[in-house]
Amino acid sequence: MPNFTDSKTFYVATLGCKINQYESESISEAWREKGYAESSEVEGADLLLVNSCAVTSRAVRALRALLRRLRQQNPSARIVVTGCAAQVLAKELGAMAEVDEVVPQARKAELLAGPFPVLSSGPAPASAFPPFSVGVFRRARAVVKVQDGCSHGCTYCIVPLTRGASVSREPGEAIEEMRRLLDAGYRELVLSGVNLRQYGRDLSEPLDFWDLLSRVEAALGPQWAGRARLRLSSVEPGQLGAKALDVLGGSRLVAPHLHLSLQSGDAGVLKRMGRGHYRPEQVLEFLSQLKRFWPRLGLGADLLTGFPGETAEQFENTFAFCSELPLSYAHVFPFSSRPGTAAARLPDPLPKLERTARAARLRAMAEAKTRAFQKELCALPQLTVLIENAESGQGVCEFYTPCLVRGQELRRGSLVALRPEGVADDKVVGAFAGDIA
């Protein structure tokens, strides 16, 4: 195994989800605290750490391309690959000439000890919440990880193979990290997990995600309501019941925005996906009730087209269902077979051309809804924008819509009021109307 102890400068490249972003931040912070210097440029680093994703075949192709590019940019650096692809493709990645070491996802937390993978020879640690934590986040919006892994096993999904069974963070630990980040000046926190529906099932005190959110509200709401906000990462439609309505309706911190792991609007397709635990109609029913508390909300969804066996009629059901949803954006993907998943063995695979055509049609409909929602926001007297780029004035409002604030010197990470005036370059544009926090 190569010796990484002489590596004094490092560079981290992160692919994939917010959980990966969080874990990269945690590792970088731990290494800096141990006296190692982080380089902002690939060329200036002794060690290059790549935190990988494997959720789609496209993600794996992007990883391989990145590794080749990093080696070209810095021929003498040591390259370490960790993350989800390192878990399921360790042998293949280890055989690449560009890669010096592979640290599987199950052992990623061992990197917190320093920028030199010195892994124990025994089995990976027993399932427990990984000891990642973050005090300083690189982005204006800080992520707080509260759950990892998934025990459900959707037939198309590789996550249970890459991240293992669901594990949950103790509520007190999550709240304490959130408090530290708010005290450090962050004004938007994202509560994130791989499958928030499974939060709390493994804790000694049985809880669910809505219990956690209630505790967060009680602990932080009195001080931070109106001065900071919480945003939820992707939630499951099966979570959206009476308890969710009660907690969201009473929240003073949660931004009026939901992102749903919807995947399909056809009950038959959902069943083949292993997602028969909810009906598409439940989503519409919940959103109708939520309007009592959130008259307007940003709504995003993950959608998967061309699942094996999906008929033209079933796709039309999904298209019609999504037409009814008050979507403000959507992430639409054609089905990508992942080796090792049940869906890879299902009969009746659809031709790639048909999968991509269905995705394009659904994406076009979602983009039209995005434009309509942007125009709707322009009719409001004011939006609250988190500034992500102080020089350009770009940020996101409470509805998770990109905005551009004009007419004021701004501070990155601050919350400001925007008076909407129109839409330009896919952003709601308007004048600065005052500082909020």
The region of weakest confidence among 3-7, 101-105, 199-203, 345-349 is 3-7
Q: What is the mean pLDDT of residues 394-405?
A: 98
- Asked if pLDDT for residue 338 goes beyond 90, the answer is no
- Asked if pLDDT for residue 1 goes beyond 50, the answer is no
Task: Compute CA 349 distance to the chain's CA centroid, rounded to the nearest angstrom.
Answer: 28
- Rounded alpha-carbon distances, angstroms, from residue 151 to 128, 158, 197, 199, 364: 13, 11, 10, 11, 33
Contact 143, 135 (CB under 8 A): no
Q: What percentage of the chain carries pLDDT values higher than 90?
A: 86
Tell me the per-residue pLDDT of 44-91, one tens digit each, with 9 for 90 and over. Answer: 899 999 999 998 888 999 999 999 999 999 999 999 999 999 999 999
User: In 3D, which of 357, 259, 236, 344 has the Cα closest to residue 306?
Assistant: 357
- Asked if pLDDT for residue 408 goes beyond 90, the answer is no
Say how many C-beta atoms besides its own lie within 10 A of residue 45's C-beta: 26
Entry field: residues in the chain: 437
User: In 3D, which of 395, 416, 413, 412 has the Cα closest to residue 404?
Assistant: 395
The pLDDT assigned to 120 comes to: 55
Average model confidence (pLDDT) for the chain?
Answer: 93
- Asked if pLDDT for residue 16 goes beyond 70, the answer is yes
The pLDDT assigned to 3 comes to: 45
The pLDDT assigned to 136 comes to: 84
Q: What is the mean pLDDT of residues 376-403?
A: 97
What is the Cα–Cα distance from 159 to 53, expressed in whole angstroms? Answer: 10
What residues pair up with 52 in beta bridges, in sequence order? 83
Residue 4 pLDDT grade (very low, low, confident, very high; cuts 50, 70, 90) = very low
Q: What is the mean pLDDT of residues 380-407?
A: 97
Classify the phi-psi angles of 296: left when phi > 0, otherwise alpha if psi is within -120 to 50, otherwise beta: beta
Q: Are strands 37-38 and 9-14 parallel, antiparallel or unpaired?
A: parallel
Q: Computed from CA positions of residues 26, 9, 17, 289, in that sequence, does the dihedral angle turn out positive or negative? A: positive
Angle, vertex CA 333, rays to CA 328 and CA 334, nearest 5: 140
- Asked if pLDDT for residue 124 goes beyond 70, the answer is no
The pLDDT assigned to 365 comes to: 98
- Rounded alpha-carbon distances, angstroms, from residue 86 to 16, 81, 101, 302: 13, 6, 10, 24
The pLDDT assigned to 340 comes to: 87
Tell me the per-residue pLDDT of 260-310, one tens digit each, with 9 for 90 and over. Answer: 999 999 999 999 999 999 999 999 999 999 999 999 999 999 999 999 999
The pLDDT assigned to 62 comes to: 96
- Rounded alpha-carbon distances, angstroms, from residue 105 to 53, 81, 117, 294: 10, 10, 13, 38
What residues pair up with 192 in beta bridges, in sequence order? 145
3-state secondary structure the chain: CCCCCCCCEEEEEECCCHHHHHHHHHHHHHHHHCCCEECCCHHHCCEEEEEECCCCHHHHHHHHHHHHHHHHHCCCCEEEEEEHHHHHCHHHHHCCCCCCEEEEHHHHHHHHHCCCCCCCCCCCCCCCCCCCCCCCCCCCCEEEECEECCCCCCCCCCHHHHHCCCEECCHHHHHHHHHHHHHCCCCEEEEECCCHHHCCCCCCCCCCHHHHHHHHHHHHHHHHECCEEEEECCECHHHCCHHHHHHHHHCCCECCEEEEEEECCCHHHHHHCCCCCCCHHHHHHHHHHHCCCCCCCEEEEEEEECCCCCCHHHHHHHHHHHHHCCCCCCEEEECCCCCCCHHHHCCCCCCHHHHHHHHHHHHHHHHHHHHHHHHHHHCCCCEEEEEEECCCCEEEECCCCEEEEECCCCCCCCEEEEEEEEEECCEEEEEEEEECC
User: In 3D, which of 193, 315, 314 has the Cα closest to residue 259?
Assistant: 193
Q: What is the mean pLDDT of residues 353-364?
A: 97
Residue 128 pLDDT grade (very low, low, confident, very high; cuts 50, 70, 90) = confident
- Asked if pLDDT for residue 137 goes beyond 90, the answer is no
Q: Are strands 415-424 and 402-406 parallel, antiparallel or unpaired?
A: unpaired
Q: What is the mean pLDDT of residues 213-220?
A: 98
- Enter the pTM of the model: 0.91
User: In 3D, which of 221, 187, 190 has the Cα closest to residue 436?
Assistant: 187
The pLDDT assigned to 193 comes to: 96
